[in-house]
């Protein structure tokens, strides 16, 4: 059975069906991310003074990832335009670069996630807080070892990044660490989604976005690789597939353009 208007435009809409479909899907995606942006605004506006972090994330890596996604958006439209000009070889190169950009983005994001999961805040019995990156090589269970950390007396001091000169190697005896109120272990917590409202919304927004990057990358890869033979038998249909996957990819880029300043800079 042939799917109608998969290639030619419908007379009433002037569009092939997949294009209408992807735009309707993107409309639903706007509402999905819109709801999460709304949650972000509410959490931020209602945060107590001095409890919302500023510039705690790595701005250089965030900016680099923004450039990587912009480059990938350019190569996606270049790839599509190459097909329009019947230059399949150029399309393969451009879309190959897109896939590499997607992998680079995910690699940088994974590095950032790993950094946060390795960043610990330890509350001591003398009411000071030791905050920094855990020494993964420490095997002495009597100590909690940091490879670079700072000691602060007030939680609000942790809302901005430390100066390099204040960081040093610290070994905290386990006996000096405060017990949790519920009796389940010590007051040791990393910067995962459970750490604070900021990191909860950060991981939800960037995690959902990363899932979109993975999904988009898989679709682009399948069209670029295994489905490339369709170009020989039905080039118009193939070009349309590239256009539809490209529209999704640009949307993923669009979302990141807003996520970067909101989470990294403001």
Compare residues 88 and 143 and give the one whose CB is closer to another protein. Answer: 88
The answer to whether residue 24 forms part of the interface with another protein (CB under 8 A) is yes
Pattern 218-247, binding to another protein, x per CB under 8 A?
--------------x--xx--x------xx
- Please state, as a whole number, how many other Cβ atoms lie within 10 Å of the Cβ of residue 81: 13
Q: Which residues contact 148 (CB under 8 A, 6 or more apart)?
A: 132, 133, 167, 168, 169
CA dihedral 227, 233, 234, 235 (to 10 degrees): 80
Residue ranges of E strands in the chain:
119-123, 129-134, 143-152, 168-173, 188-190
SS3 150: strand
- Tell me the closest approach of the beta carbon of residue 126 to another protein, in angstroms: 22
Using CB under 8 A as the binding rule, whether residue 196 contacts another protein is answered as yes
Q: Is the dihedral of CA 143, 149, 153, 154 positive or negative?
A: negative
- Residues written for the chain: 266
Task: Identify which of residues 67 and 174 has a Cβ nearer to another protein in the complex.
Answer: 67
38 near another protein, judged by CB under 8 A: yes
Q: Which of 53, 56, 57, 66 binds another protein (CB under 8 A)?
A: 66
The correct pick among 56, 57, 73, 158 for binding another protein (CB under 8 A) is 73
List phi, psi (to 5°) of 170: -135, 140
Burial 139-149 (b: 16+ CB within 10 A, else e): eeeebbbbbeb
- CB closer to another protein, 24 vs 222: 24
The span of 1-9, 115-123, 183-191, 205-213 binding another protein (CB under 8 A) equals 1-9
Q: Check residue 74 for interaction with another protein (CB under 8 A).
A: yes
Separation CA 48–CA 76 (nearest Å):
43
Closer to another protein by Cβ: residue 71 or 219:
71
Q: Which residues bind another protein (CB under 8 A)?
A: 7-9, 13-15, 19-20, 23-24, 27, 30-31, 34-35, 38, 41-43, 45-48, 51, 59, 63, 66-67, 70-71, 73-74, 76-78, 81, 83-86, 196-197, 232, 235-236, 239, 246-247, 250-251, 253-254, 257-258, 260-262, 265-266
């Amino acid at each position: 059975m042939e799917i109608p208007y998969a290639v030619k435009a419908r007379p009433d809409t002037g569009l092939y069906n997949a294009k209408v479909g992807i735009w309707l899907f993107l409309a639903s995606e706007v509402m999905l991310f819109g709801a999460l942006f709304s949650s972000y605004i509410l959490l931020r506006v209602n945060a107590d003074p001095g409890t919302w972090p500023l510039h705690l994330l790595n701005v250089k890596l965030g900016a680099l990832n923004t450039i990587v996604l912009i480059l990938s958006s350019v190569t996606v439209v270049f790839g599509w335009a190459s097909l329009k000009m019947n230059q399949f070889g150029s399309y393969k190169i451009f879309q190959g670069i897109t896939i590499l950009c997607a992998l680079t983005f995910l690699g940088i994001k994974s590095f950032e996630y790993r950094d946060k999961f390795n960043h610990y805040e330890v509350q001591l019995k003398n009411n000071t807080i030791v905050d920094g990156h855990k020494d993964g090589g420490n095997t002495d269970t009597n100590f909690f070892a940091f490879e670079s950390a700072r000691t602060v007396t007030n939680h609000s001091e942790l809302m901005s990044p430390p100066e390099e000169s204040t960081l040093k190697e610290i070994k905290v005896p386990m006996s000096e660490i405060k017990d949790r109120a519920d009796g389940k272990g010590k007051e040791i917590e990393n910067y995962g989604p459970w750490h604070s409202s900021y990191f909860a919304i950060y991981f939800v927004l960037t995690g959902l976005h990363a899932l979109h990057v993975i999904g988009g990358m898989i679709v682009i890869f399948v069209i670029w690789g295994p489905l490339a033979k369709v170009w020989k038998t039905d080039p118009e249909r193939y070009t349309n597939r590239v256009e539809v996957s490209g529209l999704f990819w640009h949307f993923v880029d669009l979302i990141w353009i807003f996520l970067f300043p909101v989470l990294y800079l403001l």
